[in-house]
Amino acid sequence: MKIGEAIHLYITVSRWEFLPAVFIGIFIGILIGANSVGSILAASSFPFILEGIFIFILLFNVGFMVNCWADWKVDELYKTRLYQAVKKLGRRSLGVIIIIHILLSFVLAFHLSIVLQRIEISILVWIGTFLGVGYSIEPIRFKKRGILHSIVALPIFFIPGVYSYFLVSSLSITDLYTIFFLLTATGITIGHYALILISQAEDQPDDKKMGLLTPAVKWGLYKTIRLSFLLNVIGSILTILAFIGLFLLINIWLLVLVPLVALGRYFSFKEVYVLVKRSKLISSEFLFLQELRQKMPKYPLWHAYGLSGITISSLCVLLVKTFGLVQPVLKI
């Protein structure tokens, strides 16, 4: 196998099409957690931030590679490119690659925990790896255990942001600023898990044949779509309220960014709302599924919409701190 082909197959099973949207979570944690732009770029911290980002990429790849490794037969029907990629790489070779990624991540995380004196980094890596692998692998296989399927949102959304926050922040987990950030991360996680439900709905017939008790299999397509919309709204409200708290801890003028956060969230759940309306007009789940699958090429953008206003606002928080304009209404 040529090197170029091997790299292409690696990128395919790692699902790098989702990396830009998920990668934003890392930057949100860094932007909100850092004291200034200078503290990020300083020679004493920047190499460790890069090391932390490298760990994140390794584990991001692990999560999707494990899913492709475990579900390669399921993917044969509709996600044929994933099935073919696993087949060409070889499941045994893919398994070895996964193990190497995990071991390297653990070693690097331990190093960061020592030099930064933050055991939280290793703990989050351990938990994230367990949940990411356990989502797809027997005997745990969270993806077939109904409501436990929601655990997948933690390693994809919640843990990366919190992990990167602790890469750059010296504040403890009990500080009010950290608490508001954790609430923000929780809101983002709920809102984007709602979108994961849409992705699961696409796989409903195949998962059902394989005996996987995903939410879409357990509740059906229509109920899953409606639950997705509800969770998106709840997550959006929590995110907006948590950002208001963060803004009040930095500078009251940052509240002008609240409509921007809300607008990004609106465009995210608007796409789901369109599906909800269509579900009421199409009585056949089979026909509705065909329409849903036609929309899935734009699915990564739905995540990007919701994160756009959040990312810009997080950057503004960092700039306000960088220029020494912190004038809190609330006291940390």
Please give the pLDDT value at position 35: 94
Please give the pLDDT value at position 218: 81
For range 237-247, the mean pLDDT: 96
* 327: β partners: 251
Please give the pLDDT value at position 310: 94
Domain range annotation of the chain: 1-170, 171-332
DSSP for 156-188, written as a single string: IIIHHHHHHHHHH----TTSHHHHHHHHHHHHH
Is residue 8 predicted with pLDDT exceeding 70?
Answer: yes
Task: Compute the distance between CA of residue 188 and CA of residue 25 in angstroms, rounded to an integer.
Answer: 9
Q: Does domain 1-170 have CATH number 1.10.357?
A: yes
Closest CA to 58 of 100, 13, 118: 100
Please give the pLDDT value at position 77: 66
For the chain, the C-alpha Rg in angstroms (whole number) is 20
Is residue 51 predicted with pLDDT exceeding 90?
Answer: yes
pLDDT 10s digits, 141-165:
776 666 666 777 788 789 999 999 9
Task: Compute the distance between CA of residue 110 and CA of residue 123 in angstroms, rounded to an integer.
Answer: 9
The single-letter code of the amino acid at 259 is P
Please give the pLDDT value at position 46: 94
- 56-70, 196-210, 232-246, 286-300: the lowest-pLDDT one: 196-210
Task: Compute the distance between CA of residue 59 and CA of residue 87 in angstroms, rounded to an integer.
Answer: 22
Residues of the chain with pLDDT > 70: what percent?
A: 94
Does the global pTM surpass 0.75? yes
pLDDT 10s digits, 103-145:
999 999 999 999 999 999 999 999 989 888 887 777 777 766 6
* 250 vs 60: which has the higher pLDDT: 250
- Most confident option among 3-17, 99-113, 203-217, 317-331: 99-113
Is residue 239 predicted with pLDDT exceeding 80?
Answer: yes
CA dihedral 102, 110, 11, 128 (to 10 degrees): 70
pLDDT grade, residue 332 (50/70/90)?
Answer: low
Task: Compute the distance between CA of residue 313 and CA of residue 294 in angstroms, rounded to an integer.
Answer: 32
